[in-house]
């Protein structure tokens, strides 16, 4: 059987997948481009056909990971039309992602900041991260407004400010879980959903 021939985009994604695993295992500073090439099963020079530097490949991992999360969020929005269900299932998805990515947390947060600082990618990384937070704040605020319009949520909560706090909870949960594996993100999240809905949702008649 002849070896499979990858097109350019498939090869690029193969390199990003390999880089994500190696960065997670070794950290950015300890990872060499040759390590990534070896994991991907290609020559070192092949990596430079797609990425100009280890930093650029690192940023590609960041973007790919966040796009995967966006795709899962879109699935929740499609599957759950009511505002209350959307809010609950988005938080459940968030807890799942925190649990799944515990080993990636240092890379996706701490390593990215250290790597970007003072590099040519600092502006792009900062802008991308700011856009990402803004996107999720707007999503959460839109869900809250939807619930207020349909009568599911009380009307005296300001959507934008509440959304800012809600989005920030995932960073805190991820950091704590990385530091203490005994924390149970999914169970913590269910208690938070209960408290949130008690305060935000309209009392049923």
Rounded Cα gap, residues 107 and 87, in angstroms:
28
Q: What is the pLDDT of residue 203?
A: 54
Q: Are 60 and 96 within one domain?
A: yes
Q: What is the pLDDT of residue 80?
A: 95
Is residue 205 one of the residues assigned to a domain?
no
Q: What is the pLDDT of residue 6?
A: 63
Average pLDDT over residues 143-171: 93
> Where residue 1 falls among pLDDT bands split at 50, 70, 90?
very low
Rounded Cα gap, residues 144 and 158, in angstroms:
9
Is residue 160 one of the residues assigned to a domain?
yes
For 112-140, the pLDDT digits (tens) are: 777 777 777 778 888 888 999 999 999 99
The residue that leads in pLDDT, 137 or 199, is 137
Q: How far is CA 85 from CA 108, 117, 138, in A?
A: 28, 39, 17
Is residue 82 one of the residues assigned to a domain?
yes
Q: Are 20 and 76 within one domain?
A: no
Q: In this structure, what CATH number is given to the domain that contains residue 195?
A: 1.10.357.10
Q: Are 22 and 110 within one domain?
A: no
Q: Are 78 and 176 within one domain?
A: yes
pTM of the predicted model as reported, rounded to 2 decimal places: 0.83
Q: How far is CA 82 from CA 152, 184, 197, in A?
A: 9, 27, 14
Q: In this structure, what CATH number is given to the domain that contains residue 13?
A: 1.10.10.60
**Whole domain around residue 22: which residue ranges?**
1-51
Q: Are 44 and 64 within one domain?
A: no
| 15 CB-contact burial (10 Å; exposed 0-12 / middle 13-18 / buried 19+) | buried
Paired tokens of 148: 């207020």
Whether the predicted pLDDT of 106 surpasses 80: no
Paired tokens of 199: 């305060």
Q: Contact at 8 Å (CB) between 133 and 83?
A: no
How many domains are contained in the chain?
2
CB atoms within 10 A of CB 205: 3
């Amino acid at each position: 059987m002849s070896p499979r021939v990858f097109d350019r985009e498939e090869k690029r994604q193969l390199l990003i997948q390999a880089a994500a695993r190696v960065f997670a295992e070794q950290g950015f500073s300890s990872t060499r481009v040759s390590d990534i090439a070896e994991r991907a099963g290609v020559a070192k020079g092949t990596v430079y056909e797609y990425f100009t530097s280890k930093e650029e490949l690192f940023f590609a991992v960041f973007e790919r990971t966040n796009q995967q999360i966006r795709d899962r969020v879109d699935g929740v929005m499609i599957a759950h039309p009511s505002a209350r269900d959307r809010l609950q299932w988005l938080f459940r998805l968030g807890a799942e992602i925190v649990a799944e990515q515990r080993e990636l947390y240092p890379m996706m947060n701490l390593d990215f900041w250290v790597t970007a600082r003072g590099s040519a990618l600092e502006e792009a990384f900062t802008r991308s991260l700011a856009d990402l937070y803004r996107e999720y704040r707007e999503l959460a605020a839109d869900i809250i407004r939807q619930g207020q319009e349909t009568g599911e949520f009380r009307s005296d909560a300001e959507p934008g400010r509440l959304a800012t706090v809600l989005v920030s909870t995932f960073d805190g949960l991820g950091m704590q879980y990385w530091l203490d594996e005994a924390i149970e993100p999914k169970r913590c999240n269910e208690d938070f959903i209960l408290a949130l809905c008690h305060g935000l949702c309209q009392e049923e008649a």
